Amino acid sequence: MMMRKEDLGLSLSLGLSQDHTPLQLIQNPNSSISNNLQRFPWNQTFASTSDLGKIDVNSLPTTVDCEEEPGVSSPNSTISSTISGGKRSEREGISEHDDITPDRGYSRGTSDEEEDGGETSRKKLRLSKDQSAFLEETFKEHNTLNPKQKLALAKKLNLTARQVEVWFQNRRARTKLKQTEVDCEYLKRCVEKLTEENRRLQKEAMELRTLKLSPQFYGQMTPPTTLIMCPSCERVAGPSSNHQHNHRPVPINPWVACAAGQVAHGLNFEALRPRS
């Protein structure tokens, strides 16, 4: 069964901030696992895998040998190389040998289908629904894992640490892509607004020039649009604004306000900003 975006229940709370705002994950009510998943307590090992029901891991060989060790939590500890499962081939070379079952997961298939000539054919392992769901839950809390967490999660899900690592990496990439798409839409709407405002201002300027050429009307016209900014709250308002602060407003360059996403002459980019 293909997992689609809707299945992930992914929705993003967005801003333009760089710090990846945590995903607002809406658990798919159809997901059978959603109610069974307990929050993973990062300070302790995973409990049993019983709550995960069936984990097939595509017949992945089982145990990732991952005894908890006090020093494991350090990202730079030597054991992290062991548990990372080897990101690169050289990493693989130094990792998971001997007592760690030949999961190596990356390019292997099930025992009955492999050995096709020893080619470098990488059989792709599909994670089970339960595994994906639990990884999603975990990602909601931490979008990165330290080696200890990675190891514990791998053990709980009966995956290799490398698989967990890859999953998180790909998940971060998907999040970023999604964020980029939404940001792009937001910026497009900003451009539309600005284009529209530009047209309006050019038209207004044209009218002013016309009036200036007609001195008999010059004294009767209403003043052109003036933007003022409250130095206290730094909000921009037009001359008719009923701003209540009792200090002198400071005229500003409206484009500065636009760039800052302020309310300038009816331009409110906050309103364009995508909501989660």
* Residues in touch with DNA (CB under 7 A): 1-5, 7-8, 75-76, 78, 80-82, 84, 87-89, 91, 94, 105-107, 121-127, 132, 144-147, 162-163, 165-174, 176
Residue (108 or 264) nearer to DNA, CB? 108
Tell the residue number behind the tokens 């409110």, with chain if given: 268
What is the smallest separation between the CB atom of 214 and DNA, expressed in angstroms? 57
Position 269: which residue type? Answer: F
Whichever of 175 and 262 has its CB closer to DNA, that residue is 175
Q: How far is the CB of 71 from DNA (least distance, A)?
A: 11
Complex with DNA: residue 124 or 248, whichever CB lies closer: 124
- The minimum distance between CB 129 and DNA, in angstroms, equals 10
Q: Locate tokens 């895998």: which residue? A: 49
11 vs 81, beta carbon nearer DNA:
81
Q: Minimal distance in Å, beta carbon 8 to DNA?
A: 6
The separation between the first and the last C-alpha atoms of the chain, rounded to the nearest angstrom, is 28
Which positions ≥6 away from 201 have C-beta within 8 Å?
Answer: none
In angstroms, give the least distance from the CB of 208 to DNA: 46
Closer CB to DNA, 18 or 43, in the complex: 18
Q: Which helix (H) or strand (E) holds 46?
A: none
Question: Could you tell me if 186 and 273 are in contact, meaning their C-beta atoms sit under 8 angstroms apart?
Answer: yes
272: Cβ contacts below 8 Å, ≥ 6 apart: 186, 189, 190, 193
The least CB distance from residue 15 to DNA, in Å, is 17
Q: What's the min distance (Å) between Cβ of 191 and DNA?
A: 23
State the Cα–Cα distance between residues 144 and 123, nearest whole angstrom. Answer: 26
Within 8 A by CB and 6+ apart from 37, the residues are 51, 133, 134, 137
Nearer to DNA, 113 or 192 (CB): 113
d(C-alpha 229, C-alpha 248), whole Å: 9
Burial class (CB in 10 A: 0-12, 13-18, 19+), 262: buried
**Closer by beta carbon to DNA, 21 or else 81:** 81
The runs of H, that is alpha helices, within 126-262 are 129-141, 147-157, 161-212, 215-218, 254-259
Can you give the length of the chain in residues?
Answer: 276
